[in-house]
Amino acid sequence: MSLAVQIRQHGGPEELALVDLPVGAPGPGEVLIRHHAIGLNFIDVYHRTGLYPLSLPAGIGMEAAGVVQAVGAGVTHLAPGDRAVYASMPPGSYCEMRVLPAQCVCRLPDAIGFDTGAAMMLKGLTAQYLLKKTRPVEGLQAGDHVLFHAAAGGVGLIACQWAKALGLQLIGTAGSDAKCRLALDNGAAHAINYCREDFAARVREITGGKGVKVVYDSVGKDTWEKSLECLRPLGLMASFGNASGPVAPFAPGLLGAKGSLYVTRQTLFTHIATRASVQAMAEDLFAVVASGQVRVHIDQRYPLAEVQQAHRDLEARKTTGSTILTP
């Protein structure tokens, strides 16, 4: 049996219930892992509320780190006793132990602790595909300006550091002066408190009126329209989340009027659809973390039993950096 968090209906944090669930043996292509640390992400809120609906009852949580207990037939890249880490479908990482598909589970290098591993996979792989794969048609070169919303969050702080390592001038936005200072301390070239400033006007000022080549936006509804104003001609609007709610429908002609802009809606799970792609992206992430160029900030820790409070704090934007749950 394993202590786990389950939702029986979509709704608020009060729907997160602690239950004991049986844990079977891994089948072909599966792995059994005992968790040491579990990552908390905004996609967990989307699953809980039903914005991304699940078949209920359902487990919740997308990433964790621990030790492999057993592997199923056909699994050759892992063995019992391996330190392991993952960001993976289906949801269900909020638990002590689980069976899941082995495809997205990677060996965790000895130089990286379980807490860091659990805090960095989903967020770090997201930063990786954004900065390395989700690029404007004209590409990105050292010195280019990019705009990154929620720059003091888990993905944002990793992106600030990684962008600096790549030579990019990252302009970060956040909802308080303290969060802006955090973004600057982690490599952002500029930080804008969008509660006090018009971030579109400030971006134009920073870039000498040219605008940025790409906007990376996990906020959604509240930042969408002004983000389009920040882009230079042929710029890319890269949406990867909806923290403030989904973006309203818009006329494609608007993109032409604003400079033949490009728009994309990205998800991590498209990028990690194969074992080879997962491993390549993870190795890139492991290398930049092990080198010290990117440090994963774990600013909040909650016991699994306090998962409801963890969700409340996340939704209230009381958190910075990464958050982990401990089983």
Domains of the chain as residue ranges with CATH = 2-123+275-326 (3.90.180.10), 135-265 (3.40.50.720)
Q: Tell whether the model's pLDDT for residue 317 goes beyond 90.
A: no
Q: What does the mean pLDDT of the chain come to? A: 95
Amino acid at 233: P
User: Tell me, what DSSP letter sits at residue 270?
Assistant: H
Note the pLDDT tens digit of each residue in 146-193: 999 999 998 999 999 999 999 999 999 999 999 999 999 999 999 999
* Distance separating alpha carbons of residues 314 and 283, to the nearest angstrom: 29
* Distance separating alpha carbons of residues 57 and 209, to the nearest angstrom: 51
Q: Tell whether the model's pLDDT for residue 320 goes beyond 90.
A: no
Helix-then-strand count for the chain, H and E: 10, 16
What's the gap between Cα 190 and its chain centre?
A: 21
The pLDDT of residue 3 is 97
What is the distance between the terminal CA atoms of the chain, rounded to a whole angstrom? 13
Q: Do 129 and 281 meet the contact criterion of CB atoms below 8 Å apart?
A: yes
84: its two tokens: 């392991």
Q: Going by DSSP bridges, is the β-strand pair 169-174/145-148 parallel, antiparallel, or unpaired?
A: parallel
Note the pLDDT tens digit of each residue in 91-139: 999 999 999 999 999 999 999 999 999 999 999 999 999 999 999 999 9
Mean pLDDT over residues 195-208, rounded? Answer: 96
Query: Look-up: residue for tokens 């598909």?
Result: 101
Note the pLDDT tens digit of each residue in 5-15: 999 999 999 99
Kindly give, in sequence order, each residue whose CB lies less than 8 Å from that of residue 15, ignoring residues fewer than 6 positions away: 7, 8, 9, 48
